[in-house]
Chain A
Amino acid sequence: MGSITLSKITKTFGPKEVIPPLDLQINEGEFVVFVGPSGCGKSTLLRLIAGLEDVTSGQISINGEEVTLAPPAKRGLAMVFQSYALYPHMSVKKNIAFPLKMAKKSQSEIDEKVTNAAKVLNLTEYLDHRPGQLSGGQRQRVAIGRAIVREPAAFLFDEPLSNLDAALRVNMRAEISDLHRQLETTMIYVTHDQVEAMTMADKIVVLQAGRIEQVGAPLELYETPRNKFVAGFIGSPRMNFIEGHEAAKHDAHTIGIRPEHLTISTESGAWQGKVGLAEHLGSDTFLRVDAGPLGELTVRAIGDVKVKYGDTVFLSPDPSKIHRFDAGGLALR
Chain B
Amino acid sequence: MATAHSKTAARLMISPAVLLLLGWMLVPLGMTIYFSLLRYNLLMPGMESFTGLDNYRYFLTDPAFYAAFKNTLLLVGGVLLITTVGGVLLALLLDQDFWGQGIVRILTIAPFFVMPTVSALVWKNMFMNPVNGLFAYLFQALGLEPYDWLGSAPLFSIIWMVSWTWLPFATLILLTALQSLDREQIEAAEMDGAGALARFFYITVPHLSRAATVVVLIETIFLLSVFAEILVTTNGGPGYASTNITYLVYAQSLLQFDVGGGAAGGIVAVVLANIVAIFLMRMIGKNLDA
A residues contacting B by CB (< 8 A) are: 50, 52, 71-73, 77-79, 81-83, 85-90, 98-99, 102-103, 132, 146, 150
For the A-B complex, the count of residue pairs with Cβ-Cβ distances under 8 Å equals 60
With a CB–CB cut-off of 8 A, which chain A residues contact B280? Answer: none
**Shortest distance between the CB of B210 and any CB in chain A (Å):** 10
Q: Which of B185, B193, B207 contacts A73 (CB 8 A)?
A: B193
With a CB–CB cut-off of 8 A, which chain A residues contact B198? Answer: 102
Residue B188 at the chain A interface, CB threshold 8 Å: yes
Q: Judging by beta carbons under 8 Å apart, are B194 and A87 in contact?
A: no
Q: Judging by beta carbons under 8 Å apart, are A87 and B193 in contact?
A: no
Q: Judging by beta carbons under 8 Å apart, are A89 and B207 in contact?
A: yes
Q: In this complex, what residue of A is CB-closest to B188?
A: A85
A78 to B290 Cα, complex, angstroms: 30
Q: Label chain B's interface by main secondary structure.
A: helix
Q: Which of A71, A73, A89 contacts B206 (CB 8 A)?
A: A89
**Shortest distance between the CB of A248 and any CB in chain B (Å):** 52
With a CB–CB cut-off of 8 A, which chain A residues contact B202? Answer: 87, 98
Q: Number of B residues whose C-beta is below 8 Å from A?
A: 19
With a CB–CB cut-off of 8 A, which chain A residues contact B121? Answer: none
Q: Judging by beta carbons under 8 Å apart, are B188 and A79 in contact?
A: yes
Q: Judging by beta carbons under 8 Å apart, are A99 and B187 in contact?
A: no
Q: In this complex, what residue of A is CB-closest to B186?
A: A85
With a CB–CB cut-off of 8 A, which chain B residues contact A78? Answer: 191
Residue B192 at the chain A interface, CB threshold 8 Å: yes
The 6 nearest A-B residue pairs measured at CB: A99-B192, A85-B188, A85-B184, A102-B193, A73-B193, A89-B206
**Shortest distance between the CB of B101 and any CB in chain A (Å):** 18
Q: Judging by beta carbons under 8 Å apart, are A150 and B192 in contact?
A: yes
Q: Judging by beta carbons under 8 Å apart, are A81 and B184 in contact?
A: yes
Instruction: Beyond A78-B191, A102-B195, list 6 extra A-B contacts (CB 8 Å).
Output: A71-B190, A73-B192, A81-B187, A89-B206, A103-B193, A132-B290
Query: In this complex, which of A85, A89, A99 has the most chain B Cβ atoms within 10 angstroms of its Cβ?
Result: A85
**Shortest distance between the CB of A79 and any CB in chain B (Å):** 5
With a CB–CB cut-off of 8 A, which chain A residues contact B191? Answer: 50, 52, 72-73, 77-79
A102 to B202 Cα, complex, angstroms: 10
Residue B203 at the chain A interface, CB threshold 8 Å: yes
A81 to B203 Cα, complex, angstroms: 16
Q: In this complex, what residue of A is CB-closest to B183?
A: A85
A163 to B59 Cα, complex, angstroms: 65
Q: In this complex, what residue of B is CB-closest to A82?
A: B184
A78 to B190 Cα, complex, angstroms: 10
With a CB–CB cut-off of 8 A, which chain B residues contact A99? Answer: 192-193
Q: Judging by beta carbons under 8 Å apart, are A81 and B188 in contact?
A: yes
A90 to B203 Cα, complex, angstroms: 10
A73 to B193 Cα, complex, angstroms: 4
**Shortest distance between the CB of A131 and any CB in chain B (Å):** 11
Q: Judging by beta carbons under 8 Å apart, are A72 and B190 in contact?
A: yes
Residue B145 at the chain A interface, CB threshold 8 Å: no
Q: Which of B187, B194, B290 contacts A85 (CB 8 A)?
A: B187
* In the complex, per-residue mask of B169-211: 1 if CB is within 8 Å of any chain A CB, else 0: 0000000000000101101111111110010001100110100
With a CB–CB cut-off of 8 A, which chain A residues contact B190? Answer: 52, 71-73
Q: In this complex, what residue of B is CB-closest to A83?
A: B184
**Shortest distance between the CB of A70 and any CB in chain B (Å):** 12
With a CB–CB cut-off of 8 A, which chain B residues contact A150? Answer: 192-193
**Shortest distance between the CB of B182 and any CB in chain A (Å):** 7
Q: Judging by beta carbons under 8 Å apart, are B193 and A85 in contact?
A: no
**Shortest distance between the CB of A106 and any CB in chain B (Å):** 16
Q: In this complex, what residue of A is CB-closest to B198?
A: A102
With a CB–CB cut-off of 8 A, which chain B residues contact A82? Answer: 184
Q: In this complex, what residue of B is CB-closest to A75?
A: B191
What are 12 A-B residue pairs whose CB atoms fall within 8 Å in the complex?
A: A73-B194, A79-B191, A83-B182, A83-B184, A85-B188, A86-B185, A86-B188, A87-B188, A98-B189, A98-B192, A98-B194, A98-B202
Q: In this complex, what residue of A is CB-closest to B187?
A: A52
* In the complex, per-residue mask of B274-290: 1 if CB is within 8 Å of any chain A CB, else 0: 00000000000000001
A129 to B290 Cα, complex, angstroms: 14
A79 to B190 Cα, complex, angstroms: 10
Query: In this complex, which of B184, B187, B193, B203 has the most chain A Cβ atoms within 10 angstroms of its Cβ?
Result: B193
A98 to B189 Cα, complex, angstroms: 8
A132 to B289 Cα, complex, angstroms: 13
A73 to B191 Cα, complex, angstroms: 5
A77 to B193 Cα, complex, angstroms: 10
With a CB–CB cut-off of 8 A, which chain B residues contact A86? Answer: 185, 188
**Shortest distance between the CB of B68 and any CB in chain A (Å):** 39
A313 to B5 Cα, complex, angstroms: 66
Q: Judging by beta carbons under 8 Å apart, are A85 and B185 in contact?
A: yes
Q: Judging by beta carbons under 8 Å apart, are A87 and B203 in contact?
A: yes
**Shortest distance between the CB of A41 and any CB in chain B (Å):** 18
Query: In this complex, which of B191, B203, B206, B209 has the most chain A Cβ atoms within 10 angstroms of its Cβ?
Result: B191
